[in-house]
């Protein structure tokens, strides 16, 4: 029932009720953060897709405004699907979005604010030129969607990518325009891959090679690399490469699903994400949709479905070979009631309760120091799939060095627990670190997806500590390993480990001791996420 809501979150963005999927058109405009999102105004299941709109001054507290775009024109009557915001020359924000038209063909549309002097940009007007891009010249009408933020080349032309499936594979179609109204498709896509299916929600943006600040979408110089992200197989995959404006050549360092180098924003539940450049704090911020892992029947029963991740700032790592992500600093405003300790030995087979905070709504940082690294088990060269390895070697499976980490959402008797942990293996000349989020024991309830996730993480435990930060929030745990080098997000629905029956532990189920060099945990206050009175409909 709607009364008992143990799984609603305290500091993750969600609408008061109903279905939410992809984040859309995020932007920072005149001191205000805007988030639009795919929303069903009528039910907790996908349908009637509308752009809902919320604003924030700090990315933590949010005000829900009126819906920005509703499916009520021939070019979007079957849904106002995903899209992105662009600042035109002069700074005016506009959005490009996909409409599902009267024939359920996907077309790309433009909308702009009705009143630019309203800093909240409450009202949006669809362009009289819509649709701007239609599925012609062999484009399959059901696989043509999700325009990116547009960027402007040195030649003054605007460019935008549209996600596409052609010959059964993933493509990022490239369109160019001088006036943002008339768009011409380039003969060559920006990129494509025969190893994947349809690409949804592409994203394309520069990252600075010195890795300190975010970069605006239309800036180009030698000190940037370009990220191309595509959503497929329930995951957000990305590649890094060098982009040459004007020729629009994009040459990738490693490709999608090649060399076993499968770069993902998050190795858990995280999809259809989108970044934007925050000109205020000079950073690039990533939002991602976190789906439910419960049954549709239960989604309907609880009256809502879907979360947004905590916004993450995103940078190129020092190695230049991957991205790193970290929750925006503003989220730390919610920290309260700190518990911390240093230098605590965790013997093989032991657990340590972290008490004094609210474990179902918490922020935990812990770092581990390892001695005995020569005792690490040998890495088997056939272990190429880290998720499979985490599924086989779940938290109760004892190793030499690890599993060690935390048990979130644990019941006092430990029959429920979500284990986020590491294992260290030894190969010829180096160590291999595996990071897992094991949901297999997360709930005594049946009928849930309890998928276990995992990834290898680029840490050399001989020279650095292994760190973990987990944001725990009633039915979600977002984990950042190695200072953001690997992220794993999971949804869990404990039966008894809810509210004040939820406990948090550090654990070591390896044979050898590990040392907690530092642990810091905080209770998290609730974010203020409220509806503007204007939006409330009379009952």
State the catalytic residues: 22
Nearest approach in angstroms of CB 77 to ligand FRU is 14
Cβ nearer to ligand FRU, comparing 200 with 438: 200
Cβ nearer to ligand FRU, comparing 60 with 80: 80
CB 433 within 8 A of CB 510: no
Helix (H) / strand (E) element for 386: namely: helix 386-392
Nearest approach in angstroms of CB 231 to ligand FRU is 6
Give the C-alpha separation, 108 to 452, whole Å.
Answer: 37
- Write out the two tokens for 72: 């009520």
Task: Give how far Cα 24 sits from Cα of 4, 156, 306, 352, 416, Å.
Answer: 30, 25, 14, 42, 35
CB 10 within 8 A of CB 363: no
The full length of the chain comes to: 539
Footprint on this chain of ligand FRU (rule: CB under 6 A):
21-22, 38, 49, 81-82, 98, 145-146, 200-201, 272
Give the C-alpha separation, 230 to 239, whole Å.
Answer: 9
Nearest approach in angstroms of CB 38 to ligand FRU is 4
Nearest approach in angstroms of CB 79 to ligand FRU is 7
Nearest approach in angstroms of CB 419 to ligand FRU is 29
48 prior amide bond cis, ω within 30 = no
- Provide the 8-state DSSP code for 453: E
* Cα 118 → chain centroid: 30
**How many helical (H) and strand (E) elements, i.e. helices and strands, does the chain have?**
2, 38
- Interacting residues of 103 by C-beta distance below 8 A, sequence separation 6+: 141
Nearest approach in angstroms of CB 307 to ligand FRU is 14
Cβ nearer to ligand FRU, comparing 274 with 469: 274
Cβ nearer to ligand FRU, comparing 84 with 443: 84
Phi-psi region of 68 (alpha: psi -120 to 50; beta: other; left: phi over 0): alpha
Alpha helices in 275-340 (DSSP H): 296-302
CB 65 within 8 A of CB 120: yes
Cβ nearer to ligand FRU, comparing 232 with 404: 232
* Residue showing tokens 């499976």: 397
Nearest approach in angstroms of CB 46 to ligand FRU is 6
- Interacting residues of 280 by C-beta distance below 8 A, sequence separation 6+: 28, 31
Give the C-alpha separation, 83 to 37, whole Å.
Answer: 9
Cβ nearer to ligand FRU, comparing 35 with 376: 35
Cβ nearer to ligand FRU, comparing 199 with 503: 199
Cβ nearer to ligand FRU, comparing 293 with 435: 293
Task: Give how far Cα 356 sits from Cα of 333, 368, 379, Å.
Answer: 19, 21, 39
Give the C-alpha separation, 457 to 484, whole Å.
Answer: 10
Nearest approach in angstroms of CB 22 to ligand FRU is 5
């Amino acid at each position: 029932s709607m009364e008992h809501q143990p799984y609603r979150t305290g500091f993750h963005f969600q609408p008061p009720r109903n279905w939410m999927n992809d984040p859309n058109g995020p932007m920072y405009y005149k001191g205000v953060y805007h988030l639009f999102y795919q929303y069903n105004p009528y039910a907790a299941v996908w349908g009637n897709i509308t752009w809902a709109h919320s604003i924030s001054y700090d990315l933590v507290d949010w005000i829900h405004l009126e819906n920005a775009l509703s499916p009520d024109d021939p070019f979007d009557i079957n849904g106002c699907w995903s899209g992105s915001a662009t600042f035109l020359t002069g700074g005016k924000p506009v959005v490009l979005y996909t409409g599902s038209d009267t024939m359920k063909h996907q077309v790309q549309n433009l909308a702009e604010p009705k009143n630019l002097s309203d800093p909240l940009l409450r009202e949006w007007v669809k362009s009289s030129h819509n649709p701007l891009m239609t599925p012609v010249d062999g484009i399959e009408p059901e696989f043509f969607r999700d325009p990116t933020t547009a960027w402007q080349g040195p030649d003054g032309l605007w460019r935008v990518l549209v996600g596409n499936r052609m010959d059964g594979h993933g493509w990022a179609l490239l369109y160019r325009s001088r006036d943002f109204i008339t768009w011409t498709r380039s003969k060559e896509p920006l990129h494509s891959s025969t190893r994947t299916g349809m690409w949804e929600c592409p994203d394309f943006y520069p990252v600075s090679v010195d890795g300190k600040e975010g970069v605006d979408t239309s800036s180009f110089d030698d000190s940037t690399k370009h990220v191309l992200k595509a959503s497929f197989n329930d995951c957000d995959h990305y590649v890094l490469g060098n982009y040459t404006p004007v020729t629009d050549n994009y040459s990738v360092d490693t490709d999608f699903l090649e060399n076993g180098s499968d770069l993902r924003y998050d190795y858990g539940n995280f999809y259809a994400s989108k970044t934007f450049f925050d000109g205020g704090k000079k950073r690039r911020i990533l939002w991602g949709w976190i789906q439910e892992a419960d049954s549709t029947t239960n989604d309907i029963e609880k009256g809502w479905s879907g979360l947004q991740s905590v916004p993450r700032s995103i940078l190129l790592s020092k190695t230049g070979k991957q991205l790193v992500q970290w929750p925006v600093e503003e989220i730390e405003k919610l920290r309260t009631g700190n518990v911390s300790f240093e230098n605590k030995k965790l013997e093989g087979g032991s657990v340590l309760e972290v008490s004094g905070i609210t474990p179902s709504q918490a922020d935990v940082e812990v770092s581990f120091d390892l001695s005995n690294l020569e005792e690490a088990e040998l890495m088997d060269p056939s272990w190429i799939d880290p998720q499979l390895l985490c599924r086989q070697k779940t938290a109760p499976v004892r190793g030499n060095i690890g599993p060690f980490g935390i048990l979130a959402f644990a019941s006092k008797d430990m029959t429920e627990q979500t284990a986020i942990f590491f294992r260290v293996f030894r190969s010829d000349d180096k160590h291999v670190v595996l990071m897992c989020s094991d949901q297999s024991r997360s709930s005594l309830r049946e009928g849930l997806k309890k998928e276990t996730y995992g990834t290898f993480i680029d840490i050399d435990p001989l020279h650095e500590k292994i760190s973990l930060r987990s944001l725990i929030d009633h039915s979600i745990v977002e984990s950042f390993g190695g200072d953001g080098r690997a992220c794993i997000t999971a949804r869990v629905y404990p039966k008894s480990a809810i509210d004040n029956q939820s406990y948090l532990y550090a654990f070591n189920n390896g044979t050898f001791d590990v040392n907690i060099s530092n642990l810091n945990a905080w209770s998290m206050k609730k974010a203020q996420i409220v509806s503007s009175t204007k939006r409330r409909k009379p009952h």
